Structure 1
Amino acid sequence: MTLLQFFFDVALGLLLGTLGGLFGIGGGLLAIPALGLLFGLDQQLAQGTALVMVVPNVLLALWRYHQRNRIDWRHALLLALSSFCLAWVGSAVAVGLDAGVMRRGFVGFLLVLAAWNLVQLFLRPGAGTTELSRPWPWLGVLGGGAGLLGGLFGVGGAVLATPILTLLFGVSQVVAQGMSLALAAPSTAVTLITYAAHGQVAWLTGIPLAVGGLLSISWGVKLAHVLPQRLLRVLFTLFLLLCALLLGLKA
């Protein structure tokens, strides 16, 4: 790796970290199509490499969200444990799938999430609250499902959990993003370990991305708490569509 390439990777990490903090996803969702387009990595290798950045970003973003909106650690622990158990299953399946099938599945996954978020804009026009509208043990079901899909697609499950928390549990977008990070923290770690064990991680690319992400993710968290909740949800939907478009271009 040249010095120029190192600084390019750090700069890309700065951008991805800011977006990861803004949307509470660690930056991996955009990193995966970016690594495919800019570096020519196949789907599994792009997902594994993105996780090198995502794991530390998620941990730092979780702490920043907790500082601004206290997360009930009873809720966080249930989300984390249930997600962890099934993330291993999803990642173990993912490393053996065809890269083209994975990419098309990921595009479809993003489009469904974007459509879901658009529907929410009309179903729940309010800003949401800081309290759950359903009994907290239901978070275990959410954590398990999100962990399974997060392990399969290498995104930690937060991107799936956030719209479910706002629609079905009635919390605000920013509170949902913080809780989703608690879910993502252990599942991203076990997914990274699984991908690395199968040789699906480009460490020399992932580490500079992680450096850039750690330097910038706090900016995104701060911005998330300044923007109106409805605008934040619209931006999140547009972000999902952009990621699907970028990934579709490679297909």
Structure 2
Amino acid sequence: MSYLILIILGFIAGTVGSLIGLGGGIIIVPAMLYLSTMTSFFHDVTPQTAIGTSLLVIIFTGLSSTLAYMKYKTVDYKSGLIFFIGSGPGSIIGAYLSKLFNAHTFSVWFGLFMILISITLMLKAKAKPVNKVHKGIIRTYEDESGELYTYSYRIFTGIAIAFFVGLLGGLFGIGGGSLMVPAMMLLFLFPPKVAVATSMLIIFLSSVTGSVSHIAEGHVNWLYALCLVPGAWFGGKMGAWVNKRVRTKTIVLFMRVVLILIGCELIYQGIFS
């Protein structure tokens, strides 16, 4: 039964992560920490184990999603590789810093981070992209209806933001798309579908580098990962399929509420348990 729970958890995390570009760790990490308090099967889960195992699983979510989005031609490979110059080293540093957390401290900070992500998703829904003169690297994208989008970014700015996102991804095991997607849309004017698809490419690459560091530190539970990966792989494909066909406003709204509730619960546990 416990193995089935992990398979289902992987599928849900992969689907939601791929659908809105979050990566899935934002679901896997708190779920594993919660399960560790509910059943003896997960008694050995620590914050570091949850983070390291989550990042390893996100490799497969990111790869599965990227391959699916490649078919829809929404991945901006050039921008993804440029941003990885920042997110790759950031994920390695974040993985190293994660071992400084104990269980209570991690619960508080991760809870605060989840609330921050919820606020970020709210701002993304309400804010309008900045008016800008296109400078630096200028890219274009034509959607299915023939509408042409133009977006741009300066290399240093893009790499700096990606470094920060990668650091948080390695630190909390969440992939980092929750911050990267809004930045790409609001600051650089990426079309939403291109932002999500390219974010999954960045998440895939950053999770590889972050996972190597966590594996070296002994933070990965291979049995849990083996159960999570199949669900995450098919969930990643499912999320990309749904993203192509439906509006995601309702799902994002649901995610915002869930993130706030889980964040508050984690903060409460970290302070009072």
Please give the TM-score of this superposition, normalised by the length of structure 1: 0.87
Asked if 1 retains the 8 angstrom alpha-carbon contact of 2:24 and 2:175, the reply is no
Structure 1's unaligned 5+ residue stretches are none
Report which stretch shifted further, 239-248 or 216-225.
239-248
**Aligned match for 1:154, one of 153, 170, 173:** 173
Instruction: Identify the residue that residue 18 of structure 1 maps to in structure 2.
Output: 15
2:87 aligned with 1:68, yes or no? no
Instruction: Identify the residue that residue 42 of structure 1 maps to in structure 2.
Output: 46
Q: CA deviation at 1:78?
A: 0.6
Following the alignment from structure 2 to structure 1, what is the Cα–Cα distance between the partners of residues 89 and 51?
19
Following the alignment from structure 2 to structure 1, what is the Cα–Cα distance between the partners of residues 118 and 183?
12
Considering only CA atoms, is the larger Rg found in Structure 1 or Structure 2? 2
SS in structure 2 of the partner of residue 225 of structure 1: helix
SS in structure 1 of the partner of residue 245 of structure 2: coil
Q: CA deviation at 1:207?
A: 1.1
Matched AA of 1:88: I
Following the alignment from structure 1 to structure 2, what is the Cα–Cα distance between the partners of residues 154 and 141?
19
Say how many residue pairs are matched: 247
Asked if 1 retains the 8 angstrom alpha-carbon contact of 2:109 and 2:267, the reply is no
RMSD in angstroms over aligned alpha carbons? 2.5
> 1:137–1:11: structure 2 CA closer, same or farther, 3 Å change rule?
same
Q: Deviations over 1:116-138 (max 9, x none)?
A: 2222322229xx97532434553
Asked if 2 retains the 8 angstrom alpha-carbon contact of 1:174 and 1:229, the reply is no
> 1:66–1:52: structure 2 CA closer, same or farther, 3 Å change rule?
same
Higher strand share goes to which structure?
Answer: 2
Matched AA of 1:132: Y
Report which stretch shifted further, 30-39 or 192-201.
192-201
Matched AA of 1:17: G
Matches within 5 A, 1:85-104: 85-104=89-108
SS in structure 2 of the partner of residue 70 of structure 1: coil
Following the alignment from structure 2 to structure 1, what is the Cα–Cα distance between the partners of residues 123 and 239?
25
Instruction: Identify the residue that residue 170 of structure 1 maps to in structure 2.
Output: 189
2:6 aligned with 1:6, yes or no? no
Q: CA deviation at 1:224?
A: 1.5
Q: CA deviation at 1:146?
A: 0.8
Following the alignment from structure 2 to structure 1, what is the Cα–Cα distance between the partners of residues 189 and 20?
18
Q: CA deviation at 1:147?
A: 0.9
Task: Provide the identity percentage.
Answer: 24
> 1:250–1:49: structure 2 CA closer, same or farther, 3 Å change rule?
farther
Instruction: Identify the residue that residue 210 of structure 2 maps to in structure 1.
Output: 191
Following the alignment from structure 2 to structure 1, what is the Cα–Cα distance between the partners of residues 11 and 127?
34
Asked if 1 retains the 8 angstrom alpha-carbon contact of 2:20 and 2:248, the reply is no
Matches within 5 A, 1:169-248: 169-228=188-247, 230-231=249-250, 233-245=252-264, 247-248=266-267
Structure 2's unaligned 5+ residue stretches are 38-44, 130-146
Following the alignment from structure 1 to structure 2, what is the Cα–Cα distance between the partners of residues 106 and 188?
18
> 1:247–1:30: structure 2 CA closer, same or farther, 3 Å change rule?
farther
> 1:121–1:195: structure 2 CA closer, same or farther, 3 Å change rule?
same
Q: CA deviation at 1:70?
A: 3.0
Following the alignment from structure 1 to structure 2, what is the Cα–Cα distance between the partners of residues 176 and 242?
27
Q: CA deviation at 1:81?
A: 2.1
Q: Deviations over 1:161-198 (max 9, x none)?
A: 01111221222332211121222122211222222222
